[in-house]
Structure 1
Amino acid sequence: MELICPHCSAINRIPEARLNQNPNCGKCGQALHTGLPVDLTTTTFDRYITRNQLPVLVDFWASWCGPCKMMAPTFKQVGTELASRVRFAKVETEAEQALAARYQIRSIPTLVLFKDGKEHARMSGALDANGLKQWLRSQDVN
């Protein structure tokens, strides 16, 4: 399975059986599963989405958005819990307007789940931890 390092963006090949064993990057040596959402930019987005073989959940948000700020700790918490099954990432829509336009983000926060490099599902609005986990389960992300 290929995973992108959240620190140096190197592509790492990890056997599926080792995903729960806290693997480290072969290039920089840091943990591949930090549990922290990765901040994506126009430059890093495509590589991260298309080369990660785990599903990637992207939170499109803005710094001025109250619901986005309220959901940020929940997103981080669930990201830590599901680190070996789902990659969590964030796109700040004010800074990355081209990505927001490309994915037709009309309201924030908007969560977009990518599988195999393609958009699989989308949810607009803030969720609590249980709601986020339930939504991910409904998308076959356990």
Structure 2
Amino acid sequence: MAQSKKVTCLDCGQVNRVPADRLSAGAKCGTCGAKLITGKVAEVDLATLQKAARNDEIPLVVDFWAPWCGPCRMMAPEFSKAAQELSGEARLVKLNTEEHPQAGAKYNIRGIPTMAGFAGGREKARQSGAMPAAQIVNWVKASV
């Protein structure tokens, strides 16, 4: 039997157990039917981020950003390119620190954009500043 991995649905917050070989094959949430691995960046709130960071068995990379931040807006398309390239290896999400200021306090965010990589229920790496897609991909593969 194939090994399974826990993956949190970013739409409804339900934790799903998915066979590892089906992660990239269009696995869907058992509760709401949303795709679990899309290759696209998802916008999350603090509760979803905490649940996914704690439970997911594939790396989760979070971009803490705000709409007024110029470097954040410049990095957004690069973060999306990196999400496509890392599809199946890691999930990339964004958290708007202006809408969720408690997230900045909880994760000790001192400047934006800041990326944090989570694996095994813990924060494994952190990187501040805008980066191009190739550098984001390399950072995720080396650090998370």
TM above 0.5, yes or no, is: yes
Q: Tell me the C-alpha RMSD between the 2 structures.
A: 1.4
Q: How does 1:8-23 map to 2 (within 5 A)?
A: 8-23=12-27
Q: Which residue of 2 aligns with 1:118?
A: 122
Once the 2 structures are TM-superposed, how far is the Cα of residue 123 of structure 1 from its aligned partner? 0.4
AA in 2 matched with 1:64: W
- The answer (yes or no) to whether the contact 2:86–2:137 under 8 Å persists in 1 is no
- In structure 2, distance between residues paired with 1:8 and 1:76: 22
Normalised to the residue count of structure 2, the TM-score between the two structures is 0.89
Match of 1:57 among 55, 58, 61: 61
Match of 1:84 among 83, 88, 91: 88
Q: Which residue of 1 aligns with 2:41?
A: 37
Q: Which residue of 2 aligns with 1:132?
A: 136
- The answer (yes or no) to whether the contact 2:62–2:94 under 8 Å persists in 1 is yes
- In structure 2, distance between residues paired with 1:61 and 1:83: 21
1:25 aligns with 2:45: no
Residues paired across the two proteins, number: 140
AA in 2 matched with 1:99: A
Mark the runs of 5 or more structure 1 residues left unpaired by the alignment: none
1:106 aligns with 2:106: no
Q: Secondary structure at the match of 1:126?
A: coil
Normalised to the residue count of structure 1, the TM-score between the two structures is 0.91
AA in 2 matched with 1:97: P
- The answer (yes or no) to whether the contact 2:10–2:48 under 8 Å persists in 1 is no
1:46 aligns with 2:59: no
CA deviation map 1:103-128 (0-9, x unaligned)? 11111100000111211000000010
Once the 2 structures are TM-superposed, how far is the Cα of residue 81 of structure 1 from its aligned partner? 2.1
Once the 2 structures are TM-superposed, how far is the Cα of residue 85 of structure 1 from its aligned partner? 1.1
Q: Which residue of 2 aligns with 1:7?
A: 11
Once the 2 structures are TM-superposed, how far is the Cα of residue 60 of structure 1 from its aligned partner? 0.5
**Which is further off, 111-120 or 19-28?**
19-28
